[in-house]
Amino acid sequence: MTDMKNEKPVVALTLGDPAGIGPELIARLLARPETCETANVVLVGDPWLWADGQKIAGLQVATDRVESLAAVRGRSDSSRAAFLPVDTVKPEQVQRSTSAAPGGASVLQVLDRCMDAALAGEVDAICFAPLNKQAMKMGGLAHEDELHHFAEYLGVQGYFCEFNTLDGLWTSRISSHVPLEDVPKYITRERINEAAKLMTRSLQANGVAAPRVAVAGLNPHNGEGGTCGRQEIDVIAPAVRELNEQGFPVSGPFPADTIFLKARDGQLDAIVTMYHDQGQIAIKLLGFSRGVTVQGGMPIPITTPAHGTAYDIAGQGKADVNATFNAFKIATTMGRAYRESRK
């Protein structure tokens, strides 16, 4: 009989965009012995694409074929990954390093299959290899990005946002894939409150008992007392006070050009930024090849490496697996917490 207390979380993996480095990355990930030590792993993908990824990586990775995602949790031996073969795209439909509708449609089919399994309680987390938004939009994505697709598919009603994490530092953002001129209208007390609370809960699910969360300002030099913008005075600082009153020890706002120095020096676990590049530039400069994106606010943990499909090196066997491994580790930790919360 399976020991429910010690049962490993089921983590679903996907190969990502067929024309990018995803299949190679997953081959490198599953070739690591430690990958299956803490999770019951199932790879969902087209057999030819999985074989191609192994060939590019110069590896042969043994897996156990399963006929459904429902069969994964009951496996007697999870010392190596399960593999659920699907048929979503043909080899002749994929041109390496090129965005195309068939590849984007394939990504959507596989992700939706994994989300269906998550909704049915068959998997505890999803970790997907890099995808290409242009290809996905060509293949039927009706949203601005995959995060909004996940939210609609999973029936999310509350606040959600992307988190980026690197070496223990997490960032979220009040606005994301919107024009810079539209950013100020997203800066509201409610969104700042929700972002900071969601960040705190997510860090706790990742094993940080007392997260140290700070909020960045919007304007240069934190608005210079209102002479260079008033969002810090009128919106951001009041939101931080409200958080403190509600028992969340959030600090800020701090000038955006110095807050990451505090993080670099180990004084913070997380930063709530006001727009996309405010946090992304800093995180990617600190460690582009190690960063992870977490889809915050989803009912299940969903993670991915923070870098893209790297079309410039696809098929060359050069892809660095570190960010993918980090994304997998976070999915495993959060997946375990998610599974425990449902018992």
pLDDT of residue 178: 87
Mean local confidence (pLDDT), 322-330:
96
Angstrom distance (rounded) from CA 48 to CA 31: 18
Mean local confidence (pLDDT), 181-205:
95
pLDDT of residue 278: 93
Angstrom distance (rounded) from CA 291 to CA 294: 10
Q: In percent, how much of the chain has pLDDT > 90? A: 88
DSSP bridge partners of 42:
12, 82
DSSP bridge partners of 294:
163, 303
Q: How far, rounded to the nearest angstrom, does the alpha carbon of residue 176 sit from its chain's CA centroid?
A: 14
* Cis before 253? omega within 30: yes
pLDDT-based confidence at 167, cuts 50/70/90?
confident
Angle between helices 322-341 and 189-205 (to 10 degrees): 90
pLDDT of residue 5: 47
pLDDT of residue 122: 97
pLDDT of residue 2: 42
228-280 pLDDT, tens per residue?
Answer: 999 999 999 999 999 999 999 999 999 999 999 999 899 999 999 999 999 88
Domains in the chain and their CATH numbers?
Answer: 1-156+298-343 (3.40.718.10), 160-289 (3.40.718.10)
Mean local confidence (pLDDT), 32-41:
96
Going by C-alpha positions, the residue among 142, 147, 144 that lies closest to residue 128 is 147
Angstrom distance (rounded) from CA 99 to CA 89: 14
303-317 pLDDT, tens per residue?
Answer: 999 999 999 999 999
Q: CB–CB of 94/52 below 8 Å?
A: no
| pLDDT over 50 (residue 108) | yes
Q: How many CB atoms lie within 10 A of CB 226?
A: 12
Range name among 123-132, 136-145, 287-296 with the lowest pLDDT average = 287-296
| pLDDT over 80 (residue 206) | yes
Non-local CB neighbours of 77 within 8 Å, separated by 6+ positions = 64
Mean local confidence (pLDDT), 157-163:
91
| pLDDT over 60 (residue 293) | yes
| pLDDT over 60 (residue 10) | yes
329 membership: H or E segment, kind and range = helix 322-341
pLDDT of residue 6: 56
Q: CB–CB of 194/159 below 8 Å?
A: yes
pLDDT-based confidence at 141, cuts 50/70/90?
very high
pLDDT-based confidence at 1, cuts 50/70/90?
very low
Handedness of CA 196, 202, 205, 207 (dihedral sign): negative
Cα separation values, 272 from 28, 192, 252, 322, Å: 33, 8, 10, 25
| 294 token code pair | 């977490």
pTM to 2 decimal places: 0.90
pLDDT-based confidence at 144, cuts 50/70/90?
confident
214-240 pLDDT, tens per residue?
Answer: 999 999 999 999 999 999 999 999 999
Instruction: Round the average pLDDT of the chain to a whole number and report it.
Output: 94
Mean local confidence (pLDDT), 306-330:
96
